[in-house]
Structure 1
């Protein structure tokens, strides 16, 4: 363990000391800290997207703190400690890279992906009480778009998939027609269900085209934000009162400037 990492572990241990620790840190549980863990992971991703290396260094530190915090809470209750966390990931990485740490031969990144998934399937089977599901360990806490891609990718690995992107496009058209039908029926629950089906199908289209759906949507969000704020800047205080046609004209002007 490096000196700096050992110091971080010591700092967290002191923060959680029942006699002299920080009241806030002592009150925390796995459940209360989990949202911060997710938030820090997103901030790491944002720093990467912004090309902000100084920010990335800071955010990685914040994320590392979350790992140490969870491990310390587990140690406090006698479940496991930070050494167990590190030991488990070391063992997993060695187990999942037999071509590096063993005698297996893997010729390409695609072959490594297949090997990785095969080893994960073996691990799932070892943990399962009954028939193991390829979907069993896709985390519920993932953002819905990311989870949709992962679920579909797992299903595709056992042959449940469209042959090409054209099949997904046809499915999207089918789901859009069902949305229109649900709207005509006026059933709010049915509308929500069918809109969800459209989003799931679009996530599958991204997967079939080799597009990261979450990254693509994030880029679209940034583009929309940039264009909308440019519209606001051009119109000033008058923006809210503009007609829809005037706002659309501003939107098109901003697009042309790009």
Structure 2
């Protein structure tokens, strides 16, 4: 027997059924499960980046369960339910893809196109997508360019999104050399703050430096969060080698010794 989405919805309703459901699930709210949603999303990303595709299905299921949980809460409060979530999503995606659904319906089609032309059309499609999103924001009453950028995004991701929004109205460097020069400028200002011993200024200048680095990533079409996660994994891999080689002497080894082991770890990659 293979379970379906209807079975999952039924299971969720049973978990939240007063008197016979799960005591833990019955106590939950939108806010209490939000941290789990973030955790499950990160686990999906981590599985993909590690290319652990054998476990990807399980992680995607855990993330889907978060949506099902929210839909049950919405249904209980007569706000929304899973079918209305799906309806809104399909409607939005059809509206944002007029190059695929020309009449604004799921059934409408365009003629077959030459796949070799797709790459050239990507900029046009992206521009149209952003224009449609901007129109949707205006219809929701969002006036400022930056108004609906979520404050709960990871800081590097939010920096890139803020910069992307500003770029959409022309506030941007034309080339990556601009943010690279800005990084050098911010680094000099951070060094000056360090020399002055001003901790508050050091924090501010370090923030400016990270913000400028995120701008370089955006110009290079690199996800700054993904880049930093990669750097973290690289550091872990190399340090674990140092740890293994040093053994019981790890805490007492000199920096010169540790640096030599670090160099060996780099050479093995």
Q: TM-score, normalised by structure 2?
A: 0.90
The CA deviation string for residues 25-48 of structure 1, in whole angstroms up to 9 with x for no partner, is: 000011110000000000110111
Matched, 1:50 2:50: yes
The answer for unaligned runs of 5 or more in structure 1 is none
Which residue is equivalent to 2:124? 111
Q: In structure 2, what is the Cα distance between the partners aligned to 1:103 and 1:84?
A: 22
Q: Matches of residues 180-199 of structure 1 in structure 2 within 5 Å?
A: 180-199=191-210
Matched, 1:152 2:163: yes
Q: In structure 2, what is the Cα distance between the partners aligned to 1:31 and 1:194?
A: 34
- Deviating beyond 3 angstroms after TM superposition, the runs of 4 or more aligned structure 1 residues are 103-107
Which residue is equivalent to 1:76? 76
Q: In structure 1, what is the Cα distance between the partners aligned to 2:229 and 2:31?
A: 27
Which residue is equivalent to 2:60? 60
Q: Matches of residues 1-258 of structure 1 in structure 2 within 5 Å?
A: 4-102=4-102, 108-128=121-141, 132-258=143-269
Aligned residues: 255
Q: CA deviation at 1:166?
A: 1.1
Q: In structure 1, what is the Cα distance between the partners aligned to 2:148 and 2:88?
A: 17
Q: In structure 2, what is the Cα distance between the partners aligned to 1:140 and 1:75?
A: 27
Q: TM-score, normalised by structure 1?
A: 0.94
Greater fraction helix: 1
Structure 1 vs Structure 2 CA RMSD: 1.7
Shifted more, 71-80 versus 28-37: the winner is 71-80
The answer for unaligned runs of 5 or more in structure 2 is 105-109, 111-117
Q: In structure 2, what is the Cα distance between the partners aligned to 1:77 and 1:11?
A: 18
Which residue is equivalent to 2:107? none
Q: In structure 2, what is the Cα distance between the partners aligned to 1:163 and 1:110?
A: 16
The CA deviation string for residues 109-148 of structure 1, in whole angstroms up to 9 with x for no partner, is: 221111110000001111116xx12222222221111111
